[in-house]
Amino acid sequence: MTRFPTRVWATIRRHHLLTHGDRVAVAVSGGADSLALLHVLADLVPRAGARLVGLVHVHHGLRGADADRDAEFCQELADATGLPLQLLHVDVATEAARRHWSTERTAHALRHAAFHLAGRRLLATRIALGHTRDDQAETVILRLLRGAGSRGMAGMWPSRGLLVRPLLEVTRRDVEHYLAVRGLTWRDDASNADQSIPRNAVRHTVLPALIAVAGAGLPERLARQAAAWRDDEEWLARCVASELPSVLVPDAGGGWQLDLGRLDAVPPPLRRRVRLGVLQQVLPAGTASLHLVDALERLERLRADGVGQLGHWAVRRVGVRLTFTGARDSPVALPAALPDRVLDVPGCLELSESGLHIDASVLRRDRWEVDARARTPGVSVAALDADRVGQTLVIRGRRRGDRMRPSGATGSQKLQDLMVNRKVPRQRRDAIPVVTTADGQIAWVVGLAIGGEFAIQPGTTGVLLLQATRSGGKA
């Protein structure tokens, strides 16, 4: 292999981005990075014992005829490689206006939602993105300027769920040289020159100015620092995940209770991160911020029976606890009961009644053990024996008489008792997803328990990874 493929292969091996049996889809924009990604993976994916299953192109509906030509270029790439193209159209402008978000933030959110939809259609276990080390350096600077904490400063992860970034340790110059040697041409996006877009301003003005002061090795140093922050972030996430269940508990009225005594017992350097975890649990997805962490800390100083507001919650100080209840002028909306739905593996499912998105993917045991890391608060994860569970799941609400044997327990128990013991409010119990096998055995009660029969065993070879994340609204 030449130097460029060798370096990409080293990234794939170092971060375990591909394993035997993976089905890989490649996100293509028509630009240099994604074109190089497609060509280098055409050689490297079979080397990993995996195979390419398709291309994914997202049309954002923003650049008129130029965007149409990008889509045509990507279709030509698909035709040339003999792979199917998933062309997905999203309406960024309309959605940005609806959400009151920036164009860039909305495009990112819709693009990633489209990637997951395309991955499901292609039965992909990996979706490869073409971000380079230069993109990583720009991301770190952007997040520094926005006041991000260690999680933001960790930059882009080489592997996150379905998404992998094999080019994250090569430069944009490496990419263009690789394409030039092969006589390959790509499409340039004229909007990349628009410096009213923050990333473009960093790319064309801020980063070059910093390089002039700090030297040409700055992007590599920023990328290395991001990797160090990722290590810190994994450790902090584990710490928060262990503290949060005792600090924040659901109450019987459909709200939450924050135990201030337990929060005070959390080591001071970690306390701010636990507060952020609290906000991620009680607020709509994507709305928690350091500004709101400061607001929560002020609410902790309320006097007895003092009241305040945090998002849509009315907050009251009751003894050594803060109670979160529905907004003063509106009752807490009760979630709708869950209908039965089928989830094929791999695949994903939206549960609008619970405000959850469930992803199902299968990993080899060794891959899962390498990838296993603490998940951020607000994300429920279950790892099950794939062979025992099967390829078809049913997602439903609880039923009268439901029983299961939770992993680690000596006997079975009613779901009703499980929910009472875990202090799940009565009003919320019908909206907690119950995941069963095709023949009705309970494999997972989301956020509460894994069925002991389906837990990872010493002889497990394939791991079914289920992830339930907030899809908007409360989880």
pLDDT of residue 329: 40
Q: What's the CA angle centered on 136, arms 132 and 137, to 5 degrees?
A: 120
pLDDT of residue 199: 87
pLDDT of residue 252: 54
pLDDT of residue 326: 73
Q: What is the pTM of this model?
A: 0.66
pLDDT of residue 473: 35
Alpha helix locations (H) across 339-392? 365-371, 386-389
Cα separations in angstroms, 25 against 40, 51, 123, 148, 343: 13, 9, 9, 31, 21
Domains observed in the chain? 3-216 (3.40.50.620), 243-326 (3.30.465.60), 341-470 (3.50.40.10)
Q: Are 402 and 415 in contact (CB under 8 A)?
A: yes
Residue 216: strand, helix, or coil: coil
Tokens (6 digits) for 354: 């619970």
Q: Cα(168)–Cα(151) distance, rounded to whole angstroms?
A: 18
Residue bearing tokens 């080390």: 133
- Chunked into runs of 10 residues, the chain (475 residues) has average pLDDT values of 86 92 93 95 94 94 88 94 93 85 85 87 91 93 80 86 92 94 88 82 91 92 90 84 84 78 91 90 76 90 89 89 69 58 84 76 78 50 90 89 88 88 74 89 90 90 83 39
pLDDT of residue 253: 59
Q: Cα(363)–Cα(296) distance, rounded to whole angstroms?
A: 39
Q: 348's torsion region: left (phi>0), alpha (psi -120 to 50) or beta?
A: beta
pLDDT of residue 470: 59
pLDDT of residue 243: 87
pLDDT of residue 41: 97
Alpha helix locations (H) across 395-446? 415-421
In sequence order, what are the beta bridge partners of 451?
406
In sequence order, what are the beta bridge partners of 351?
356
